[in-house]
Chains A and B, each alone.
Chain A
Amino acid sequence: MAAEEPKSEKGYDDDDDDDDDDETKSVSVNVLFFARARDLTGKSVVSLKIPCGSSAGSTMERLLCMFPRLQEICKSMLLAINEEYADESTLLKHGDELAIIPPLSGG
């Protein structure tokens, strides 16, 4: 669950950050999984370190690497940050709560 090496989604300019710098510029967020996402990951919540300035979309990509089975629902789900609607471009801050909500269909 530790942060991976930031890829293209750095939200800042400096290209030559060393590892220590990355560490200070990464933020912690909690990811909440609902419904099928919970089955697929086997978890209801994970805390994640992501590079500062990450979007919901890039965080989702990171989650897909950690939990490849999430691919199943990634085209049909809602994203919310701190219980507010989020799209892929919405940025995450330290302490944010990202919810991944696929539709339930049972009744």
Chain B
Amino acid sequence: MERRAIEEEINKLQVEKLRIESRIISLQSQLNQNGQQKQLDDKNLSGWKTTSSPPYGDHGLSKELIYRYSRHLLLPDFGIQGQANLLNSSILVVGAGGLGSPVALYLAACGVGRLGIVDNDIVELNNLQRQIIHTEAFIGKHKVESAAAACRAINSTIDVIEHKGALLAVNALDIISKYDVVVDATDNIPTRYMINDGCVLLNKPLVSGAALGLEGQLTIYHYNGGPCYRCLFPTPPPTSACQRCSDSGVLGVVPGIIGCLQALEAIKLASSVGVSLSGRMLLFDALSARIRTVKIRERSLNCDACGENPIFTKKLFRSFDYENFTETPIFDLSCENLMLLSKEARGSSNEYEELLNNGKPHVLLDVRPAHHFQIASLPNSINIPLPNIEKELFTIDSALKEIGQCKETDSLYVICRRGNDSQIAVQILHQNGYSTAKDLIGGLISWANLVNCDFPIY
């Protein structure tokens, strides 16, 4: 007990230490930003901001803006007219994550007149591998604040509007209506349908990008008579088909590439330059270093959103339940939500810790994929990935034999990352005669949170 109390005290102090360290980083960054702001103010005095000199000529650009955007103006296909169009345009970026990071940075840099950013999330350490607009100093702060600060740091001459909070059916039309072009940089299917329907109702072009793992997709919906998202996918894919980065992983640069292409298409639309990707979908395959552009279907006359007899009105839209329609939650809950097993077939991390402390012989089966198991695992656990369990029951049998137990033992425990797959595994085990196998509620994340804060969470 003595030892445990000391360990608890150590854990508490470590948490406190982390909190203090992050507070120091945050204060240091504030200090830096104040310093930068002072430098900015000094520069403004020397007169490089748009307000400091009057427009030069008919296009409305001041000499400072002509200098800032000179490399755009030198492009014969873009020129002063393209830049002037851009400066007079407004673009809404929905999502300040992996896709939204490069989108917002490039749109700010290139001089979109008004740039809106919507996001509901807080910056977390595990975002920084791909969400390059955020920095360590902003961990724990709103992504919108962080993204807006980064955009303003690049270009203080544009209007950056922060829409803190989720884009939902109740507020989407009000927000979207304030912009000329919408960029979908979100990470979930219900929001994708909602943004699409909102853009169709308000007649805004939608630059839609998506990325997961080592693949990306990009197209423009509802532009120039082209199709909308619902024309292509009238039936939403099942939840199991809508993997998230937090489940499947994503190589950081992949959304970066798609985001850059989204920024490019948004800039082309806003400046009225070039031929858009409308009617075509770009498919990026990082693993084989291949980009394909596939022609997609025309607008569907039967489309619920943009067809001849659309079902959506603004009123219906505001009350439409997109989570129910797609059977997928908008927010990434990342916690156990399956409830397949009875209470008796489940154990807690604390119970398992007690069993370890008592030295009770048992078998711990870890059903995560092998590459997860390689990241971190509990001592003496056996890894059999969920899809292989039925094929590898003999492995469990021989492990049980080693501790002198049989199938009906109450010494067989199953763990996974979050406590969902472990329940499925226990069901399979029960069906195969391991009648008292138990899973550990909340998986390794619970273990790390409740028992051992040194155990890595990923």
Contact = CB atoms under 8 A, between A and B. Distances in A.
Interface of A: 34-36, 38-39, 44, 72-73, 75-78, 80, 83-85, 87, 99, 101-107
Chain B interface mostly helix, strand, loop or mixed?
mixed
A103 B210 contact: yes
B248 A106 contact: yes
Interface in B249-290: 250, 255, 281, 283, 285, 287-288
B237 A36 contact: yes
Given A73-B241, A107-B185, A83 B295 contact: yes
Interface stretch (B92-100, B426-434, B442-450): B92-100
Contact of B235 (A34, A76, A99, A104): A76
A73 B236 CA distance: 9
Contacts of B244: 105-106
B421 interface: no
Contacts of A85: 294-298
20 contacts: A34-B215, A36-B241, A72-B241, A76-B238, A78-B297, A85-B297, A99-B283, A102-B241, A103-B189, A103-B237, A104-B216, A105-B188, A105-B192, A105-B237, A105-B244, A106-B213, A106-B245, A107-B184, A107-B185, A107-B187
Given A105-B187, A107-B210, A107-B211, A83 B238 contact: no
A44 B241 contact: no
Contacts of B182: none
A101 B217 CA distance: 10
B186 interface: yes
B243 interface: yes
A96 B372 CA distance: 38
B281 A78 contact: yes
A83 B293 CA distance: 7
Nearest to B294: A80
A102 B283 CA distance: 11
Given A44-B285, A80-B294, 19 more contacts: A38-B215, A44-B288, A72-B241, A73-B238, A75-B237, A76-B235, A83-B295, A84-B295, A103-B189, A103-B232, A104-B212, A104-B217, A105-B188, A105-B210, A106-B98, A106-B212, A106-B244, A107-B187, A107-B209
Given A73-B241, A78-B296, A107 B215 contact: no
B173 to A, nearest CB: 22
A107 B99 contact: yes
A105 B283 CA distance: 13
B242 A105 contact: yes
A35 B95 CA distance: 21
Taking residues whose C-beta sits less than 8 angstroms from the other chain, chain B's interface range is: 35 or more
B294 A101 contact: yes
Nearest to A45: B288
A81 to B, nearest CB: 10
A76 B98 CA distance: 24
Nearest to A69: B240
Nearest to A87: B297
B240 A72 contact: yes
B322 to A, nearest CB: 13
B292 interface: yes
A38 B98 CA distance: 22
Residue with the greatest number of chain B CB neighbours at <10 A, chosen from A84, A102, A103:
A103
Interface string B100-134: 10000000000000000000000000000000000
A22 to B, nearest CB: 31
A65 to B, nearest CB: 20
Contacts of A73: 237-238, 241
Contact of B294 (A35, A72, A78): A78
A103 B233 contact: yes
Nearest to B279: A85
Contacts of A72: 237-238, 240-241
Contacts of B184: 107
A105 B245 CA distance: 9
A33 B238 CA distance: 18
Nearest to A72: B241
A75 B217 CA distance: 19
B189 to A, nearest CB: 5
Nearest to A83: B294
A40 to B, nearest CB: 8
A80 B378 CA distance: 46
